[in-house]
Amino acid sequence: MRDNAIEVVGKIGSMALIRDNELDIDYNVFSRVAKELKPGMLWVSSGAVEIGRLDYIKRMGCELDGPKSDVMTDYSAQGQAILMEEYRRYIPAKYSVRQLLVEHTHFNHPEKREHICNFFLRCASQNAIPIINYNDTVSFEENRRWELNQLRCNGKKDVVECIDNDETAATIACLVRAKNLIIFTSAKGIYLDPKDPSTLVERVEGKNADEVIAAITELQKSCIGVSREGAGGAKAKLEFIKEPVRAGSKVMIASAKYRISEVLSGKCPQTLFQVR
């Protein structure tokens, strides 16, 4: 069942969901994405912190002041409700919508991983769509780094951090053996020269996973810069997708200006990673 139940794991970044210059949510993006979500899709959505920040500014006329970890907690708690409200607004009414907030500890613990995996499979069979986000509200940096260090000191390999939702989506794609992994960004894909749109890399392929991963590693040399403070950028995205490729997922990085169906059918610009 696990190899066939999940057609798509998708992820959308914070900056794709807002109109930062207008200090508002981009409702068109929510509508475009959510209307195409259906059972068998798992959707990882950033945005709680940014949306919470914009909502606070709109109501109070200023930003919060204080330690970064406290501010992020407060913004996230305010933004989560709005994030889910928008997905529920646009996802077809015939489907249930379920929220799952995850932390690194959930994926570094075998029983918790299995429990989450079973939840995803039940969603697919129960006409429900899970919206997944990292739990910024309770997982603050100092405590997270201590917990990760303890795992490494105890000899655990391949420790998952998941503070970046690109990693969260990649981890989930491996967990459920998803057929497709879509990562929506503000760009149309991966470029050889980030300043030259004509250098979009359309396909990264190989006869086996090792060849594709070797090509991804080479492509990482062209990746510089990030979209915002705290983001990992294209280079990190490419690192995170290596394991889903190895696990058999077809991976697509594309702009959130396009529909899920357009990305899956190859009818829009994107960077596609797959074994031939």
Reported as a single tens digit per residue, the pLDDT across 89-108 is 999 999 999 999 988 778 88
Same domain, 214 and 172: no
Same domain, 9 and 119: yes
Q: Give 233's strand partners.
A: none
Q: What is the pLDDT of residues 167-202, one digit of tens each?
A: 999 999 999 999 999 999 989 999 999 889 999 999
pLDDT for position 162: 56
The answer to whether residue 240 scores a pLDDT higher than 60 is yes
The answer to whether residue 123 scores a pLDDT higher than 70 is yes
Same domain, 118 and 157: yes
What total number of domains does the chain contain?
Answer: 2
Nearest to 175 by CA among 108, 227, 237, 101: 108
pLDDT for position 259: 97
**Domain span at 199:** 187-276
Single pTM value for the model: 0.88
Same domain, 109 and 211: no
CATH number of the domain that residue 10 is part of: 3.40.1160.10
6: CB partners within 8 A, 6+ apart: 40, 41, 42, 120, 121, 124, 176, 177, 178, 179
CA atoms within a 13 Å half-sphere pointing along the CA-CB vector of 142: 4
Give the tokens for residue 3. Answer: 């190899």
Same domain, 131 and 215: no
Give the percent of the chain with pLDDT over 90: 69
Same domain, 85 and 159: yes
Q: Are 72 and 49 in contact (CB under 8 A)?
A: yes
- Pick from 178, 197, 214: which residue ends a domain? 178
Same domain, 112 and 134: yes
pLDDT for position 152: 57
Same domain, 121 and 21: yes
| Across 1-22, average pLDDT | 84
Name the pLDDT band for 267 (thresholds 50, 70, 90).
very high
Same domain, 119 and 216: no
Name the pLDDT band for 228 (thresholds 50, 70, 90).
very low
| Across 239-263, average pLDDT | 96
pLDDT for position 229: 47
Same domain, 71 and 111: yes
pLDDT for position 148: 47
Q: Are 82 and 52 in contact (CB under 8 A)?
A: yes
The answer to whether residue 3 scores a pLDDT higher than 70 is no
- Pick from 130, 148, 178: which residue ends a domain? 178
Same domain, 230 and 161: no
Compute the distance between CA of residue 252 and CA of residue 7 in angstroms, rounded to an integer.
13
Same domain, 116 and 20: yes
- Pick from 178, 196, 213: which residue ends a domain? 178
